[in-house]
A and B are shown apart, each in its own frame.
Chain A
Amino acid sequence: GEDVEQSLFLSVREGDSSVINCTYTDSSSTYLYWYKQEPGAGLQLLTYIFSNMDMKQDQRLTVLLNKKDKHLSLRIADTQTGDSAIYFCAERNSGNTPLVFGKGTRLSVIA
C-alpha cells in the first residue's frame, strides 16, 4: 500500500534554515502537501506541489520534489520560535482518494 516516511525529530537554532524530508512510495501520487500542527490544534495546510513541478517557493517556504527518487522536502528559511510544531507530509492520487500522511516531524527551534 501507499506509505509516507519522515524523520521524527529536527532541532535548529533560531534564524537558521530548517529542512524537513519526506519519502513516499506511490508513484502515481499527484498532489503532495505539507501540513503544520501546533500543540492542541488541528492541521494547517502550509503549501502543496503538483507532481509535474520540481520546486515551489512561497515566502519563507520552499518545497523541492524529486519525483524519480520519490523525495519531497520542505525548507523553512530564517526559522523562528513560532515555527516549532509537527510538520506532516501527505500525498494523494488524482481523483477521489484520501490524503495519506506521514507520522510527522517534530521541529524544535532553539532561541
Chain B
Amino acid sequence: ETGVTQSPTHLIKTRGQQVTLRCSSQSGHNTVSWYQQALGQGPQFIFQYYREEENGRGNFPPRFSGLQFPNYSSELNVNALELDDSALYLCASSPEPTGHQETQYFGPGTRLLVL
C-alpha cells in the first residue's frame, strides 16, 4: 500500500455541477500527477503539479483545473460536469517530476459518477 490517499472514494454529481477531488501525496514527494480512467480504458494524463505550479498538461479542456498546496497535497477541480466525466480519477506522487517512474506511487482513486 502506498502513502498516497485520495478523497472522497466515491462521488455522485449531476451535469453542470462542479467537483473538487483531493490527493495527499507520499511523504517527501513534491510532484503530483492526475489521471482520468474511463470505464474499460487505460488512465489518461490530465496534468502534473510540481512545487505548486502546473508542470505539464494533457489533452483536457480548461474546465479541468488544479492546485497544489505548500504541503504538496493537491486538488483537481472540474467545472460544468458532463456525463463523459464519469471515471476513476487517480493521482500519483513522485519525488521529482523527471524522476524514474518506479518511484511514482498511485492512490486508490476517486470514482466519480455524473448523472
Q: Which one of A40, A41, A103 lies within 8 Å of B42 (CB-CB)?
A: A103
Q: Which one of B44, B98, B107 lies within 8 Å of A42 (CB-CB)?
A: B107
**A: contact size bracket:** 20 to 34
Total of A-B residue pairs, C-beta within 8 Å: 57
A96 neighbours in B (Cβ, 8 Å): 48, 55-56, 97-98
**B: contact size bracket:** 20 to 34
Is the CB of B68 closer than 8 A to any CB of chain A? Answer: no
Q: Which of A52-111 contact B (CB under 8 A)?
A: 88, 90, 92, 95-104
Between A and B, 25 residue pairs with Cβ closer than 8 Å are A4-B42, A33-B101, A41-B109, A42-B2, A42-B108, A42-B109, A43-B43, A43-B90, A45-B101, A45-B104, A95-B98, A96-B55, A98-B33, A98-B45, A98-B56, A98-B58, A99-B43, A99-B45, A99-B101, A100-B45, A101-B42, A102-B42, A103-B42, A104-B41, A104-B42
Name B residues whose Cβ lies closer than 8 Å to a Cβ of A. Answer: 2, 4, 33, 35, 40-45, 48, 55-56, 58, 90, 92, 97-98, 100-102, 104, 106-109
Name A residues whose Cβ lies closer than 8 Å to a Cβ of B. Answer: 4, 31, 33, 40-45, 48, 88, 90, 92, 95-104
- Nearest-CB distance from A103 to chain B (Å)? 5
Please tell me if the beta carbons of A101 and B101 are within 8 angstroms of each other in the complex. Answer: no
